[in-house]
């Protein structure tokens, strides 16, 4: 009698576990290669569609990132180590080389920059153009900084460490819309 009672309890527990956990459907293994290929194509199409859209929401997100990039690049270019470190991934090769050359010239003269970034008053998208798969966005920035250039004896060469200065910049950012990489790069400075 005890064996029958234990068998009934075990059967009840088995049925409850099967009801809770479910049963094997046969699709727990690897996905078939055809199905895997279709999934990859759908994902690639989704990336292309999402990257092609530059609507109001995308513009808001872009401007948030552009402001951060602007501050990062300005402060990195203007700090006193005369090296581009944090902003390097934000610059395309040509702009990086231009900035680096200017920093080398400043370093050869034994000059160093001091900057206090106050903030960005405005950042406005002036235009955006898509050329083939590349999207270029031109942004007008108005920012406030305190900046001066000093020599190795800490004598002020230019600027004023006490005066807030407004700067007006127009920068062009670019990205490949077919790339899964969402990052933009500075490709031109127009001011």
Residue 41 — pLDDT band, cuts 50, 70, 90?
low
Strands 156-159 vs 165-176: parallel, antiparallel or unpaired = unpaired
Assess contact for 149 and 161: CB atoms under 8 A. no
Are the beta carbons of 173 and 140 closer than 8 angstroms?
no
**pTM for this prediction:** 0.68
Q: How many CA atoms lie within 13 A of 185 on its CB side?
A: 14
pLDDT given for residue 167 in this prediction: 92
Query: Quick one: average pLDDT of 135-148?
Result: 93
Domains of the chain from N-terminus onward: 32-189 (3.10.450.240)
pLDDT value of residue 111: 87
pLDDT at 163 over 80: yes
What pLDDT is recorded for position 16? 79
Pairing between β-strand 185-189 and β-strand 156-159 as defined by DSSP bridges: unpaired
Looking at residue 48, what is its pLDDT? 42
Task: Give the least confident one: 63-72, 80-89, 140-149, 150-159.
Answer: 80-89
Higher pLDDT, 178 or 23: 178
Q: What is the pLDDT of residue 147?
A: 87
For residue 131, what are its two tokens?
């050329």
Residue, of 94 and 15, whose pLDDT is higher? 94
Q: Which residues of 22-32 are buried (b: 16+ CB within 10 A; e: fewer)?
A: eeeeeeeeeee
| Higher-pLDDT residue of 46, 29 | 29
Please say whether the beta carbons of 174 and 51 come within 8 A: no
CA 146 to chain centre: 26
pLDDT tens-digit map of 49-91: 444 567 888 889 899 999 999 998 888 887 767 677 788 888 9
Q: Which of 13-27, 35-49, 145-159, 167-181 has the lowest mean pLDDT?
A: 35-49
Locus of tokens 């092609």: 52
Q: What is the DSSP string of 133-173?
A: TEEEEEEEEEEEEEEEEE-TT--EEEE-TT--EEEEEEEEE
Reported as a pLDDT band with limits 50, 70 and 90, residue 36 is low
Which comes out higher in pLDDT, residue 22 or 158? 158
Tell me what pLDDT residue 50 has: 47
> What are the angstrom distances between the C-alpha of 39 and each of 5, 42, 45, 52, 53?
51, 5, 10, 20, 22
């Amino acid at each position: 009698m005890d064996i029958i009672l234990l068998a009934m309890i075990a059967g009840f527990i088995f049925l409850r576990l099967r009801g809770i956990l479910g049963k094997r459907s046969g699709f727990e293994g690897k996905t078939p290669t055809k199905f895997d290929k279709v999934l990859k194509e759908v994902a690639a199409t989704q990336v292309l569609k999402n990257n092609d859209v530059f609507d109001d929401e995308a513009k808001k997100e872009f401007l948030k990132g552009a402001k951060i990039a602007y501050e990062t690049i300005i402060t990195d270019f203007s700090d006193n180590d005369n090296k581009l470190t944090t902003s390097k991934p934000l610059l395309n090769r040509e702009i990086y080389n231009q900035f680096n050359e200017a920093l080398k010239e400043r370093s050869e003269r034994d000059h160093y920059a001091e900057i206090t970034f106050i903030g960005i008053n405005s950042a406005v998208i002036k235009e955006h153009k898509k050329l083939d798969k590349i999207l270029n966005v031109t942004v007008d920035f108005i920012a406030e900084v305190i900046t001066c250039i000093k020599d190795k004896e800490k004598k002020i060469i230019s600027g004023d460490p006490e005066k807030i200065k407004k700067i007006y910049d127009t920068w062009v950012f670019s990205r490949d819309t077919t790339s899964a990489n969402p990052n933009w790069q500075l490709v031109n400075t127009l001011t």
